[in-house]
Amino acid sequence: QIPRLKTAMYGEVLTTDEVITRLKEAETKKSDKQQKKGLRGRPKKKLPIQIDEDQIENTMEIDFHNQSLEESYDDVANDNGLEEIEYQTPVWSDIKPGCFLLVDFIGGLRKKTHFKYVCLVNSVDEDDGEITVQGLQKEDDYGAVFSFIDNDISTITPEMIIAMLPHPNQKQEGRKTMYVFQGFVTVKEK
């Protein structure tokens, strides 16, 4: 039988080594718990760090760059022979129905995230300065092929326009109309 540690009820005698070690463990657990109550969040673990000179030399030879998701897509597209299309600065007189735009939408839970979508202009209201657009979604990994998003019609202002895009080629795949740009478009979709 293992002796119990409830000293208040049983008045345990500290004669055996087992009882003494269990009592010390219980006391350290209790003190650790009290210390953790004062801390907020998870306590950080301290890890011992050992560095070999060989590892330092090997890591100095390798040069890693932090790349965003968009940059990695750019690299993959460049490897496949695609280059980024030339963005044209938006001019109010050039924005007409049938024109393709790169539009900045703000969304997310806190309305702080910027999303970039390719849109097709449906109508332009010159009195109010509002533009009605149809949203398109990326159909390939690189951002060269786009198709319409069903029921995604938005009203935007000229300030939301990032760039004007050159006219893409149309191709039909089943019931979907695909728009193929000569290069890739850097978008950030949900």
Q: What is the pLDDT of residues 175-186, one digit of tens each?
A: 888 888 888 888
Residues 99 and 163 in one domain: yes
Residues 175 and 96 in one domain: yes
Q: What is the mean pLDDT of residues 77-105?
A: 81
Q: Is residue 65 part of a domain?
A: no
Residues 92 and 21 in one domain: no
How many domains would you assign to the chain? 2
Q: Which helix (H) or strand (E) element contains residue 68?
A: none
Residue 187 has pLDDT above 70, yes or no: yes
Closest CA to 142 of 70, 190, 86: 70
Task: Kindly report which listed range (7-11, 59-63, 74-78, 90-94) carries the lowest average pLDDT score.
Answer: 59-63
Instruction: Kindly report, residue by residue over 101-152, the tens digit of the pLDDT.
Output: 989 888 888 888 888 889 999 998 888 888 899 989 888 887 888 888 888 8
Residue 55 has pLDDT above 60, yes or no: no
Residues 32 and 87 in one domain: no
Q: How confident is the model at residue 45 (pLDDT cuts 50, 70, 90)?
A: low
Alpha-carbon distance of 58 to 170, in angstroms, equals: 50
Residues 93 and 24 in one domain: no
Q: How far is CA 105 from CA 74, 111, 125, 157, 185, in A?
A: 21, 10, 19, 11, 16
What beta strand segments (E) does the chain contain?
100-107, 113-125, 130-138, 145-156, 161-165, 169-173, 176-180
Q: How far is CA 154 from CA 80, 136, 149, 150, in A?
A: 33, 11, 11, 12
Residue 52 has pLDDT above 80, yes or no: no
Helix (H, G, I), strand (E, B) or coil at 30: helix
Please measure the distance between the N-terminal and C-terminal CA atoms of the chain and give it in whole angstroms: 62
Residue 13 has pLDDT above 80, yes or no: no
Residues 95 and 156 in one domain: yes
Residues 34 and 87 in one domain: no
**Mean of per-residue pLDDT scores for the chain:** 75
Range of the domain at 33: 7-38
Residue 24 has pLDDT above 60, yes or no: yes
Residue 134: exposed, middle, or buried by beta-carbon count in 10 A (0-12, 13-18, 19+)? middle
Residue 75 has pLDDT above 80, yes or no: no
Alpha-carbon distance of 87 to 103, in angstroms, equals: 12
Q: How high is the pLDDT of residue 132?
A: 92
Q: Is residue 12 part of a domain?
A: yes
Alpha-carbon distance of 84 to 80, in angstroms, equals: 12
Q: How confident is the model at residue 27 (pLDDT cuts 50, 70, 90)?
A: confident
Other CB atoms within a 10 A radius of the CB of residue 189 amount to 14
